[in-house]
Structure 1
């Protein structure tokens, strides 16, 4: 039988392991990366209303990643 009086007591953390600022920054960066992935992989001129400018700008990146666009 173990002696519970010699075990260290568990105390709650005084501060969270990750700050709210780090979480918001990570969420913002993640959102921007998802938007960039959408623009490179799936946009076929829907975002750029002035024509296919964005599509042509990201065309080589699309082929580099193996995403078909034709």
Structure 2
């Protein structure tokens, strides 16, 4: 008997030939501390690159400004 190229409802599909993807489970309790750490670190970096200068300066001198100078221009923060 010849087989058709299009499977019909009468012909069962072989489930062993096509593996189904298993969903990835991420436990929130394990990811949350790292997510909070990444957000805090990102906020500190944005502060030092974008605002550590002038009246809001935490450190005296211009060494932080000079250290982050190219990063300021790359991210579009004015510094001159």
Which TM class, normalised by the smaller chain length? 0.5 to 0.7
- Give the corresponding residue for 2:73: 63
Number of residue equivalences: 53
Q: CA RMSD in A?
A: 1.6
1 CA distance for matches of 2:34 and 2:64? 27
TM-score, L = length of structure 1: 0.64
> Which consecutive residues of structure 1, in runs of 5 or more, have no partner in the other structure?
1-16
- Per-residue deviation, 1:28: 0.7
Q: Cα deviation per residue 1:9-46 (whole Å; 9 max; x = unaligned)?
A: xxxxxxxx633231011101111011101110111061
2 CA distance for matches of 1:26 and 1:44? 28
SS across alignment from 1:61:
helix
> Computing the radius of gyration over CA atoms, which structure comes out larger, 1 or 2?
2
Runs of 4+ in 1 over 6 A off after TM superposition: none
